């Protein structure tokens, strides 16, 4: 008898019997959960099923939290997109999200999304999901790629052998997606088909006798627990005494002569192998194409570096030259500087009788002339070009290859190449990247990468401003900035790796095939990120501007500038006006950088001062939003430690650089 909660209590089947299909479930499913390996198209499918777009990309770990949307076909059923899971037990924080979701007791159906090119691997996870006894549908996605790779799948035979509905889809094109809702509606509660060695079956029987009501099939919970899943362990510990669990496991493992997880894996693998042998055929593999050759080149120990240099050059040209140079020049000088702002200033001054209100809108610290102009004329063109280039990179599948090339580099920081993914994402937005640290395996690695993100990874907006200013000075200025920031990041990372206890985990990462990005997805993703940018950044820029306006009108700004003079003018060697930029830099460092950009454009910053100012503001904490995310992800104590470390360090490094540049005669 399966003692599952909710509508599953209607099912009178033995979860332990390995044959036949159950009757379709009565009642209504509250949720349809999309589960599967990383990078198999779950998020694309989620978009197709719900009409809601979530960020999709060609690398594992794009989704680190669950997304919910209402199914367009399933009479109000909620579809849940989950982070990829390699297998149970869950290892990283994003995988634990899946484990927790499946065990939380809600009634739901599971749709496993798998790669049609890797059926055997997919089935090893299928076995684990089927054992949970929930209504289940297997969707083999990317079936077009499977056909191209010579993989022939007998769908009906596969369905028959597994005892669950099997569908073939191409989510990006929408092929086969319309069948999913119907298949889920008619899906029976899945039944486990793998019979394990006797000691494991005995342990499961013992658990079955002792455990009460379970959120999914008791057999599934027991198998997760025997496999070492932490969530299942926590769940069972709430129901059963610890000594009983320990005794059950010890007895099974003693009889097996090995850890239960190993025996489980072997049995599942053998089962998957048998099923694949009957239902899947591999025809002759086609010859490698240009993309496969490029993929090899990008991870080659020698050629990988020129490829990386070419990618960086493309990013520099797009963001630094095109975005920060030409587009900003066009918008700031021509559109805003010569047309929009003079026209608006003139209009507001004539229409609004109050000088105070007119100043608030179009004065020196005006909401439009400063806040909106910075956001729209300075930052927007830069982030637009960056998001466009970044989306192309994401969808091409290059980013995991970057992890391979940079692995040795991260080794010196006590990390592995996987850390490159959140670090590169940090160039887009540090707030989002702080969430992506969930794909890293240990708490130590997540902490180290979060610290480096908070310290020295400039987000796209700031990167563009920095490249815009320093690029106009000289290549040497850009190299000094990059060298100092990189040196600080590496020094802090190296030191932190030796202070934070724990061991480095070796790199294991799946490399998706290189693909030509789909323009529609690149554009959708870019527009979605721009929308997010405008929603998050514009209000903060307006708040920062209003803050400066109030300080200015109340006479506090000159006092603040005077107060900061020993630090900003004395220690950093910058003009007093730079203090205002640093004040708003505490709110968002790209806002501060934009203020410094304007100072430089007005000729108030020398070459040496520009380099010092850019280094100092780059080493600031990115923004308030990122601090909040770091508090949520790493806790208040660690976040406070980071903030208390980063700000003084930024000013310390800036001041030392000022002394060094003056001593070296830079810019003189």
Partner 1 sequence: MSEALAAGAAIVPCALCGHRFDPQATNLCASCPLGKGCSLACCPNCGYSAPDPSRSIVVRLAARAAAVLAGRRRAPADPAATLAQAAPGSRATIETLEEVPVRQREQLLAYGIAPGRVVDVLQVRPVTIVRVEHAELAFEATLSRAIGIAAPPDGGPR
Binding interface with partner 1 (CB under 8 A): 86-87, 89, 91, 115, 117-121, 124-125, 146, 149, 151, 228, 259, 261, 265-266, 269, 295-296, 299-301, 304, 400, 403-405, 407-408, 416-417, 441, 505-511, 513
Shorter beta-carbon distance to partner 1: residue 152 or 339: 152
What residues have CB less than 8 Å from 492, skipping those under 6 apart?
451, 452, 455, 456, 649
Least gap, CB of 299 to partner 1 (angstroms): 6
Looking at the Cβ atoms of 89 and 325, the one nearer to partner 1 is: 89
| Residue placing its CB nearer to partner 1 in the complex, 1 or 250 | 250
Long-range contact pairs involving 392-396 (C-beta distance under 8 Å, separation at least 24): 392/517, 392/522, 393/311, 393/315, 394/57, 394/58, 394/59, 394/62, 394/517, 394/525, 395/57, 395/58, 395/515, 395/517, 395/518, 395/521, 395/522, 395/525, 396/58, 396/514, 396/515, 396/516, 396/517
User: Rounded to whole angstroms, how far apart are CA atoms 64 and 84?
Assistant: 8
Closest CB to partner 1 among residues 407, 462? 407
Shortest distance in whole angstroms from residue 502 CB to partner 1? 13
CB of 492 to partner 1, least distance (A): 24
CB-nearer residue toward partner 1: 152 or 326: 152
Closest approach of partner 1 to the CB of residue 22, in Å: 28
Nearest approach, Cβ of residue 185 and partner 1 (Å): 31
Per-residue HEC secondary structure of 298-331 comes to HHCCCCHHHHHHHHHHHHHHHHHHHHHHHHHHHH
The kind and range of the H/E element at 11 are none
The CB-of-282 to partner 1 minimum distance in angstroms stands at 8
User: Minimum Å distance from CB 38 to partner 1?
Assistant: 11
Whether the CB-CB separation of 459 and 311 falls below 8 Å is answered with no
By C-beta, is 7 or 504 nearer to partner 1?
504
CA 437 – CA 448 distance, rounded (Å): 10
Closer Cβ to partner 1, 106 or 510, answer by number:
510
β-partners of residue 139 are: 113, 167
Minimum Å gap between C-beta 63 and partner 1 is 18
Q: Exposure of 296 by Cβ count < 10 A (0-12 exposed, 13-18 middle, 19+ buried)?
A: middle
Minimum CB distance to partner 1 smaller for 16 or for 300: 300
Q: What is the dihedral of CA 296, 302, 303, 307, to 10 degrees?
A: 110
**Is the CB of residue 19 less than 8 Å from the CB of residue 32?**
no
- Report in angstroms how near the CB of residue 234 gets to partner 1 at its nearest: 19
For partner 1, give the closer residue by CB, 100 or 296. Answer: 296
Cβ–Cβ contacts within 10 Å for residue 173, how many?
12
How many whole angstroms separate alpha carbon 348 and alpha carbon 344? 6
* CB of residue 279 to partner 1, shortest distance in Å: 14
Q: In terms of CB distance, is 100 or 300 closer to partner 1?
A: 300
Residues 99 and 229 sit within 8 Å (Cβ to Cβ) = yes
Could you tell me whether strands 108-115 and 151-153 are parallel, antiparallel, or unpaired per DSSP bridges? unpaired
């Amino acid at each position: 008898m399966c003692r599952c909660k909710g509508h599953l209590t209607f099912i009178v089947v033995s979860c332990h019997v390995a044959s036949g299909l159950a009757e379709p479930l009565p009642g209504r499913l509250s949720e349809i959960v999309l589960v599967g390996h990383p990078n198999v198209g779950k998020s694309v499918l989620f978009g197709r099923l719900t009409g809601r777009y979530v960020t999709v990309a060609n690398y594992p770990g794009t989704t680190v939290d669950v997304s919910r949307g209402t199914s367009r076909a399933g009479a109000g059923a909620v579809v849940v997109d989950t982070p990829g899971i390699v297998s149970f037990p869950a290892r990283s924080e994003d995988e634990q999200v899946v484990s927790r979701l499946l065990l939380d007791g809600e009634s739901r159906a599971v749709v496993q999304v798998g790669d049609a090119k890797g059926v055997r691997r997919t089935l090893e996870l299928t076995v684990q999901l089927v054992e949970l006894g929930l209504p289940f549908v297997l969707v083999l996605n990317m079936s077009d790629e499977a056909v191209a790779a010579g993989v022939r799948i007998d769908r009906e035979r596969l369905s028959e052998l597994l005892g669950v509905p099997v569908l073939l889809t191409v989510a990006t094109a929408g092929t086969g997606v319309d069948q999913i809702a119907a298949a889920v509606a008619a899906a029976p509660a899945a039944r486990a088909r793998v019979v394990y060695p006797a000691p494991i079956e005995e342990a499961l029987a013992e658990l079955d006798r002792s455990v009460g009501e379970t959120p999914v099939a008791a057999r599934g919970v027991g198998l997760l627990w025997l496999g070492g899943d932490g969530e299942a362990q926590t769940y069972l510990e709430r129901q059963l005494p610890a000594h009983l669990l320990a005794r059950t496991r010890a007895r099974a493992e003693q009889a097996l002569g090995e850890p239960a997880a190993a025996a489980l894996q072997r049995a599942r693998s053998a089962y998957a192998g048998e099923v694949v042998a009957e239902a899947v055929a591999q025809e002759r593999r086609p010859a490698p194409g240009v993309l496969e050759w490029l993929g090899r080149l990008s991870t080659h120990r020698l050629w990988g570096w020129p490829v990386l240099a070419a990618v960086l050059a493309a990013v520099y040209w797009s963001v630094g030259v095109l975005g920060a140079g030409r587009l900003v020049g066009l918008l700031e000088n021509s559109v805003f500087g010569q047309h929009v702002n003079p026209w608006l200033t003139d209009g507001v001054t004539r229409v609004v009788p109050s000088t105070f209100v007119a100043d608030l809108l179009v004065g020196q610290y005006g909401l439009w002339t400063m806040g909106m102009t910075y956001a729209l004329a300075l930052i927007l063109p830069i982030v637009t070009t960056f998001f466009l280039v970044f989306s192309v990179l994401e969808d091409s599948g290059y980013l995991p290859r970057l992890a391979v090339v940079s692995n040795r580099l991260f080794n010196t920081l006590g990390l592995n190449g996987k850390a490159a993914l959140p670090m590169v994402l940090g160039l887009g937005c540090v707030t989002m990247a702080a969430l992506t640290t969930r794909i890293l395996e240990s708490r130590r690695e997540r902490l180290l990468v979060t610290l480096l993100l908070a310290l020295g990874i400039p987000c796209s907006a700031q990167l563009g401003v920095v490249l815009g200013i320093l690029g106009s000075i000289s290549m040497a200025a850009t190299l000094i900035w990059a060298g100092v920031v990189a040196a600080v990041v590496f020094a802090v990372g190296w030191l932190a790796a030796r202070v934070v206890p724990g061991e480095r985990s070796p790199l294991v990462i799946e490399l998706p095939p290189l693909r030509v990005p789909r323009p529609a997805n690149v554009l959708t993703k870019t527009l979605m990120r721009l929308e997010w940018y405008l929603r998050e950044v514009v209000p903060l820029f307006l708040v920062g501007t209003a803050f400066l306006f109030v300080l200015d009108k109340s006479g506090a700004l000159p006092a603040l500038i005077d107060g900061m003079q020993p630090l900003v003018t004395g220690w950093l060697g910058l003009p007093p006006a730079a203090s205002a930029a640093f004040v708003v830099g505490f709110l968002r460092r790209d806002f501060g950088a934009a203020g410094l950009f304007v100072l430089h454009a007005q000729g108030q910053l020398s070459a040496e001062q520009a380099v010092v100012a850019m280094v100092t503001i780059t080493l600031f904490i990115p923004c308030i939003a990122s601090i909040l995310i770091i508090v949520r992800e790493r806790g208040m104590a660690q976040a406070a430690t980071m903030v208390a470390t980063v700000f003084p360090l930024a000013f310390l490094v800036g001041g030392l650089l000022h002394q060094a540049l003056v001593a070296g005669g830079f810019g003189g």
